[in-house]
Amino acid sequence: MTLLGELEAKVMEVLWHAPEPMSVRQAHTVLAADRDLAYTTVMTVLDRLAKKEIVQRERDGRQWLYQPMTSRGALIADEILELVTGPADERRAVYVELVRRMPAADRTALAKELSAN
């Protein structure tokens, strides 16, 4: 299951907003601005995210650079799909309820996206 913990989600937000792959030190600097966080904690979280295949890491000299393997929207969709199980009619009921709860503008945009594909 790919559900993210609180700190994993915060690390992912930092990576999604970064214009290029980040080192542990760079991610730690951003995250530590808001809370007391050890460098090794960020390193462990990034390693765990790489093992879950949520981030990709690449060696750059003596350090690793990390970047997301998927968009925020795609990861959330994956998590929803893992939670929505059961017969097709039950799954559809969940999807319908999600769409009903969307603001009207989002429903309109969704309908356009679906009809374009």
Residue 117 scores a pLDDT above 90 = no
Q: Determine the average pLDDT of the residues in 54-70.
A: 96
Count: domains in the chain: 2
Strands (E), the chain: 22-23, 55-60, 63-68
Spatial strand order in the sheet of 22-23: 22-23, 63-68, 55-60
Provide the pLDDT for residue 2.
59
Instruction: Confirm whether 78 is domain-assigned.
Output: no
Residue 79 lies in a domain: no
Segment 85-104 mean pLDDT = 91
**Same structural domain, 90 and 56:** no
Is position 25 within any domain? yes
Q: Is residue 61 part of a domain?
A: yes
pTM score: 0.78
pLDDT tier, 1 (very low <50, low <70, confident <90, very high otherwise): very low
- For position 71, what pLDDT does the model report? 94
Rounded to whole angstroms, the Cα distance separating 62 from 36 reads 26
For residue 48, being part of any structural domain is answered with: yes
Parent domain of 15:
6-68
For residues 89 and 62, membership in a common domain is answered with no
**Residue 98 pLDDT > 60, yes or no?**
yes
Token reading at 25: 């030190």
